[in-house]
A and B are shown apart, each in its own frame.
Chain A
C-alpha cells in the first residue's frame, strides 16, 4: 500500500497554528534567553540560554549554531577588546551518588572557556567564584574577578580577596590575592602591550606585575591606615602615561594619586566628593564634576593643580570626546555643557526635558539625548507638550543648538551608523515595534518596521545594528543601515528546550567496573 504524502501531511498538521492544544499551564523557572545580555563579536552575536545552560552563536547572515562547551552551565560571557575572543564562565556540576540517592551531593568546578568563531580554543581552570573579566586593550591578558554589583551566585566557601590573572595566549591562570572585594581593574599599557594591572578593592589598591612568569603583586597601596575605616573607591582611572592611578572615594573629597613608579601616594584635596571623573588622553588632564556643587574642575597631571569653572547647575556625568567633555545631569537638571578641556571654554545647552542618557555620535559632531517626560504644566503650549512625552534631542556640538523630538514611547537606546554621506541615529522606543531612524546630517527621518517591539539595540563590530526583541523563543533583527536590509533570526532560544540543564548524573560504578573488565 502506498502512503499518500498529502495524507501524512494532513495527519501531521492536525490543526493550524491558531488551534494548538493547551490543556495545561507550565511555568519555566528560568527564561530561555536574555534579550539585554547579547555579546556582539566579529563572528556574530553570542547569547546565553539559561534554560539549557548553553550558549548559541547567531550570525549576521541569519544562521545559528550551538557552541559546544560540554556538560555545564554558562554563567557569564564577555568579549575581549579584539571583538573576536570570547570568554565564557562555565559551571560544571557533577552529582555525587550514595546508596539511597543518585544525586546526594553536587561537586562543582568552574572553568573559563575561551572561544573563537564559535569553537573552544582554550579551557582554563579557575578556583573560586568570578563573574566578570577585565581585559587589557590588546587582549593578551584578562583578570577575572567577582563584581559584587552584579548578580552573584555563590556556593561553598568563596574567597573574596582573590582574582585570577588569565594569560589568554598561553592559557595559564594564576590566582592572586589582592585585597577584599576587588571592584575595578585597570591595565598599564604601552605599545608593547600590558605590563601591569591595577586592582582596586576596598581599602587597598594592588599593582600586579604581569610580565613575571607567574604574575605577582608588586605593591599594595593601602587607602586607609584605620582598620575601622572603609574607603570605597568610586572613580578609578590611570593617567595616559600609566604612571599615576587616580582614585576618588565615596564620601570623601580626597583624590588619591598613586605613583606606580615611585610607589607613593599623594592626596589631592578637591572641592567635594566627585560624582564622576574622566581622564582625557589628548589633553592629559582629568575632568571632575560634583553632585551638589555647580562647578567642573580640571586636574593637571603634571603638578596636580586644579582649575575650577562655574556652572549653572551641578552635573553628575561626564561623556568623553577626544579633547572635550560633555557634562550632563541625570538627576533632573536640563542643562548640558560642552567643555573644552584645554581651554576651559564652556557651551551651555538647555534641553526641553531632563536627560536619561546622552550618547556621543561617531565623529563627535553630535550628541543624542534621550529624555523623560518632565510632567507639570506651563503657560507655554509647546512646553506643555514636551512635559507630557518622552523625547529625543540632538545636540549640535559644533554650535550651540539642539533639536528636540517627541517620542511615541520612552527611549530605550540609541545606536549610530555612519557612512561618508549619512550619520544615522536609530532610536528604540519602549513597546513600539518600529525603529526611528534619523539622519543627523540632513534631518531625514524614517520608520523602520520591525516584526516585534524591541528590547535592546547595539552595533556589531562591522557596523551592522542588532536589535533584540522580548520574544521568549528568541528574536534578533540585524539591520544594515547602508543597504536597508533587515535579517530576522527567530527561535534560537528554543535550542535545547527539551533538555533543560541538570547536573551531570552520578557515574554508574557498576558500569565502570564492567568497562574496566
Chain B
C-alpha cells in the first residue's frame, strides 16, 4: 500500500497545477531584442560566472527618475490553495462490521454484516473534521430444526437489523491536497432489531416476533482519502478507505437474550467535497 500511496502522491505532485497563475510582466530582455536565427542554434557556450558587482556608492540626492512600470496586476483569488481544503464532505459508504458473539449464529454462519449508509463531515479547524454518520446493515437466515423423520424442516426465519448512528472527529494530514491520511474516533449509538417469523409466507401469523435494543459503542479507524485536487472546481470527488476496530455494548433484546457486536470494521466511501 505504501508504495502505491507514494506513487499516487508523487503523481499528483507532478501533475498539480501551480498555485498561482503566471502573470505576464512586459520586461524586455536581450534575448527578445535580438533576431533569432532560423538555423539550428549553436550549442550554447558554457556560462561564465557572473562578475562580482561592484559596490555602488550611496547615491546623492538626485531627481527621481521616471519609471515606466506596468500597471499593478491584481492576482485572481485561487479557489483552493494547498492549505485551503473543502469545508464539507458527504459520502456514501459501504462496509462491514464484525459479530463474533455466538448468539449471532442464529442469523447465519458469517460473523459479520455488510453495512451501507451516509456520512457527512464539516471541517471545523485546519486539520480536523467533525463527522456524523448513519450505516445500516442486516443479516438473516432460514432456521431449520429436525423433524420427526430425522430430516430438516424450516422452523422460522430470523433477521437482524442494525442502524449505526455515529458522531466523531477525523484528524488528517494531506499531501498536495489530494491524498489524505487520517484517523477517526467516533462514538456510536447502535439501534438494533431482531425479528423472528414463524411463517415467512404469511404476514398475519401470530408468531411474528420483534425485539429492539439500543446500545452505545465506539470505533477507532485509520484510513486514506483520495480527492481530485481542488482549485479547478467548486465541488470535487473523494474516495475513502478506512479500517479499524469497533466495540458495542451488549444489547438485550427483551426475552430473546443478549447480543454483542464488535471487532474489525472496514468502510469505503465515495462522495463529494465542497
Contact = CB atoms under 8 A, between A and B. Distances in A.
B175 to A, nearest CB: 35
Interface in A22-74: 22-32, 52, 66
B120 to A, nearest CB: 12
Contacts of B103: 498-500
B141 A497 contact: no
Contacts of B146: 29, 31
Contact of A497 (B109, B142, B212, B256): B256
Chain B interface residue count: which class?
Answer: 35 or more
B106 A498 contact: yes
Contacts of B140: 20-24
A352 B119 CA distance: 75
Contacts of A494: 196, 209, 255-256
Contacts of A29: 146
Given A20-B140, A20-B200, A473-B209, A27 B194 contact: no
Contact of A12 (B107, B110, B196, B212): B212
B29 interface: no
A156 interface: no
Interface in B142-162: 142-146, 152, 155-159, 161
B145 A473 contact: no
B171 interface: no
Contact of B257 (A30, A491, A496): A496
Interface in B96-120: 102-103, 105-110
Contacts of A474: 207
A498 B194 contact: yes
Nearest to B114: A23
B144 A26 contact: yes
A474 B207 CA distance: 8
Interface in A448-470: 451-452
Contacts of A471: 198, 207
Contacts of B139: 21, 23-24
A55 to B, nearest CB: 13
Contacts of A23: 108, 110, 139-141
29 contacts: A11-B191, A16-B203, A17-B195, A18-B203, A20-B195, A21-B159, A22-B140, A22-B157, A22-B200, A23-B108, A23-B139, A26-B143, A26-B144, A28-B144, A31-B145, A31-B146, A32-B155, A451-B206, A471-B207, A472-B143, A472-B155, A475-B198, A475-B207, A488-B206, A490-B206, A497-B257, A498-B103, A498-B253, A498-B257
Given A11-B191, A497-B196, 16 more contacts: A11-B136, A12-B161, A22-B159, A24-B109, A24-B142, A25-B141, A31-B145, A451-B205, A471-B207, A472-B145, A475-B207, A490-B209, A494-B209, A494-B256, A497-B256, A497-B257
Interface of B: 102-103, 105-110, 136, 138-146, 152, 155-159, 161, 163, 191, 193-198, 200-201, 203, 205-209, 212, 253, 255-259
